[in-house]
Amino acid sequence: EEDCVAGDETVRYPDGSVRLRNPNIELMDQDILYHLALGSGSHDLVEMFGDVKFVCMGGTPKRMEQFAYNIMAEIGHKLPCGTTLQDISQFSYRYSMYKVGPVLSISHGMGIPSVGILLHEVIKLMYHAKVHDPVFFRIGTCGGIGYEGGTVIISDDAVDGALRNVFELLVLGKSIQRPAKFDKRLVRELKGLADPEDPYDTVTGKTMCTYDFYEGQGRLDGAFCDFTEADKMEYLENIYKAGVVNIEMESLAFAALTHQAGIKAAVVCVTLLDRLKGDQVNHDNQRC
Ligand code: R2B
Ligand code: URA
C-alpha cells in the first residue's frame, strides 16, 4: 500500500508498539507531559494507558466529554455506581482527556500549534504506555467547499493554503517540511462504514488546512479584510477545481506528525456550512 506507513519497521517495534524517533527521551530520568498533567515519573502510564487502541481528538473539551459518553454507550462500558467520567488532564487547564476502555477522547483546541503540542505529548504517551498499534482520529468541524452543512468528510489528503501537501515548521530558525500523508486504506475502511440510509452524505477528498479562520480561509467577515468578494470567490473556485472539499485548521499537522511517528490516522469532519455560499457560522450548526 503506497501511503501506508503503519507497517513501516523503521518507526515501530516489531510488536507494534510506538517507537520514539527522539533518542533524548530515553536518557531522561522522567518525561513530564506538561500539557496533559501527566508524567512518566509521577504516573504509571503503562497501567493507566497500556490498553489504549483508539485515540480520538476533537476541538472542544465539552464535545470530547460527550463523545466519551457516546463511546461508553456504544461499547457497553460501565462506570462504578454513582461515578462520572473523570477528566484525566483536568489540572493541565489546557486540554481535557477522557478514557473509556480502549478509547481515549482528548480535546485539541484550535489550530496547528495547539494540536501539534498535543500530538508530541500523546505520541510520547503511547510510547511510555507501551501501546501497540494505536489508531488516531481527529473528529472535527470544517467549512465545506461545495457541500451543504451536515456533510461528513473523510480527508484523503491535507494541503496548506497554497495547496502544498507538506507541513512546514520553523526549527532553529530554518523551515523544515514534513509530508502530510494519510493512510489510504483507513480512508477506504471509514468510507465503507457510511450507510446509504444515513441522513447525511459521507464523502472523501482533499482537506485544506489554514493558519487562520478568517483571512486565512478567505472570509470577508473578519476584523480585517483586504480582498474583495470577487477575489474570495476566485480563490474558493480555484481550490474547488483543485479537488479541495473542505477547510479546517489541524489536518496538516495531524497527518504529518502521525505519519512521522508511524501511527495510522484519519481526519473526519462535519461541514458547518458551504463556503461557496457564505462565511458566517450559525450557532445552531455548532452545539459544543
Ligand atoms: C474547525 O473548527 C475550528 C475553527 O472554528 C478549528 O479548530 C477547526 O479546524
Ligand atoms: N472550522 C473551520 O476551520 N472553518 C469553517 O468554515 C468551519 C469550521
Q: What is the average pLDDT across 16-43?
A: 94
Q: What is the average pLDDT across 185-208?
A: 98
- pLDDT-derived band at 6 (thresholds 50, 70, 90) equals very low
- The alpha carbon of 142 and the centre of ligand 1 are apart by a number of angstroms equal to 6
Evaluate if pTM is beyond 0.90.
Answer: yes
**Strand, coil or helix: what is 90?**
helix
At what angle are helices 251-261 and 112-128 packed, to 10 degrees?
20
**Radius of gyration, alpha carbons of the chain:** 19
User: Nearest residue CA, atom 5 of ligand 1?
Assistant: 213
What pLDDT shows up at residue 16?
79
List the grid coordinates of 285. Answer: 450548526
What pLDDT shows up at residue 253?
98
What pLDDT shows up at residue 83?
94
Closest-CA residue to 141 (of 247, 253, 280): 247
CB 117 within 8 A of CB 92: no
Assess whether the C-beta atom of 160 lies below 6 angstroms from ligand 1.
no
Assess whether the C-beta atom of 204 lies below 6 angstroms from ligand 1.
no
Of the bound ligands, which one is closest to the alpha carbon of residue 57? 1
Assess whether the C-beta atom of 250 lies below 6 angstroms from ligand 1.
yes
Mean pLDDT of the chain: 94
CB 88 within 8 A of CB 129: no
What pLDDT shows up at residue 9?
42
What pLDDT shows up at residue 287?
57
User: Nearest residue CA, atom 8 of ligand 2?
Assistant: 142
Q: What is the average pLDDT across 275-281?
A: 97
Assess whether the C-beta atom of 143 lies below 6 angstroms from ligand 1.
no
Ligand 2 atom with the shortest distance to the CA of 110: 3
Q: What residues are in contact with ligand 2 under a 6 Å CB criterion?
A: 141-143, 213, 217, 247-249, 272, 275, 281
- The alpha carbon of 247 and the centre of ligand 2 are apart by a number of angstroms equal to 6
- pLDDT-derived band at 4 (thresholds 50, 70, 90) equals very low
Of the bound ligands, which one is closest to the alpha carbon of residue 63? 1
Q: What is the average pLDDT across 31-50?
A: 98
Checking if the pLDDT of 58 tops 70, the result is: yes
Sign, CA torsion 199/202/208/209:
positive
- pLDDT-derived band at 1 (thresholds 50, 70, 90) equals very low
Ligand 2 atom with the shortest distance to the CA of 143: 6
Of the bound ligands, which one is closest to the alpha carbon of residue 58? 1
Q: Does the ipTM surpass 0.90?
A: yes
- pLDDT-derived band at 284 (thresholds 50, 70, 90) equals confident
State the greatest distance between any 2 C-alpha atoms of the chain, in Å, as a whole number.
Answer: 59
Task: Write the pLDDT tens digit of every residue in 204-213.
Answer: 999 999 999 9
What pLDDT shows up at residue 118?
98
- The alpha carbon of 106 and the centre of ligand 1 are apart by a number of angstroms equal to 15
Q: What is the 8-class DSSP label of residue 282?
A: P
- pLDDT-derived band at 18 (thresholds 50, 70, 90) equals confident
Ligand 1 atom with the shortest distance to the CA of 250: 9
C-alpha 167/C-alpha 287 separation (Å) is 30
Q: What is the average pLDDT across 175-203?
A: 97
C-alpha 187/C-alpha 194 separation (Å) is 11
Find where cell 498533567 sits.
37
Burial of 259 (0-12, 13-18, 19+ CB in 10 A): buried
What pLDDT shows up at residue 15?
82
